Amino acid sequence: MIPKLSFGRTGHLSTRVIFGAAALSSVTQDEADRTLELLLEYGVNHIDTAASYGDAELRIGPWMREHKGDFFLATKTGERTYEAAYDQIRRSLERLRVDRVDLIQLHNLVEPDEWETAMGPGGALEAAVRARDEGLVRFIGVTGHGTQVAAMHRRSLERFDFDSVLLPYNFPMMQNPQYAQDFESLFDLCRERNVAVQTIKAITRGPWGDRHHTAATWYEPLTDQRDIDLAVHWVLGREGVFLNTVGDIYVLPKVLDAASRYESRPSDEQMRELVARTHLEPLFA
């Protein structure tokens, strides 16, 4: 089974591996059902989805009547203005077939102009706060991609007391000195405030480039089990972070298998060998 950790100040003991439901964006209900059964087998008790993840919310919905109590349920809004964000939150509840989600997140909030809109008067943050006040959501988080996201998340936390953050974290990306510095600064602030830190892109090999797409992810993932073991174990070796899983239901079992066998963090020498052997490269320049 996969170990659990308190998800920040929420009071929920979440598995350190969180199911990234982008993997359900374009699958059948039968495929989704088999995937959700797999989560139960490994004890995964936290689902992270988004309004923009294709049919993911619709695929999760049928499960919620019987299994809502088994999962901490999170979704995201990518809207930036109050009315649009509030309407999207309500639609997500309908699609998920629930009266309330545990966590609503402002999705990919990195660009300065979008940040000003979402965080300002009449912005998406006000919609999330209203939804929380009305009991439609319990907690509020913020997510993002790219090399600027850690610094932007610090800025977001200076403006509002978010309950969680989500951002990329893997060995190649942490070789970028500026990103590593920004990540450490954000991590320290989150630890001080008991804000949950979710990480993404653990098993990224790099951009697809001209290579044939063999997975449903928008980046090329690692696929060999021993390589995935190293990448997953390296992330889990960082105490206090959660790992959000890959966006492909056929690669997912390997990630869960790796996480269930975690014992210790690979050395930097092992990770450098992995980088050289598989040509790992940062997804974000």
Q: What is the pLDDT of residues 48-107, one digit of tens each?
A: 999 999 999 999 999 998 888 899 999 999 999 999 999 999 999 999 999 999 999 999
Is a pLDDT exceeding 80 seen at residue 261?
yes
CA–CA separation, 205 and 172 (whole Å): 9
- 127 pLDDT band (50/70/90 cuts)? very high
CA–CA separation, 21 and 33 (whole Å): 12
* CA distance readout (Å), 180 to 162, 202, 266: 21, 15, 18
Q: What CATH class does 4-278 carry?
A: alpha beta
- How confident is the model over 166-218, as pLDDT tens digits? 999 999 999 999 999 999 999 999 999 999 999 999 999 988 877 877 778 87
**Which residues have C-beta within 8 Å of that of residue 182, sequence separation ≥ 6?**
150, 151, 154
Residue 215 or residue 228, greater confidence = 228
Structure confidence at residue 282 (pLDDT): 85
Q: What are phi and psi of 204, to 5 degrees?
A: -70, 130
Domains of the chain: which residue ranges?
Answer: 4-278
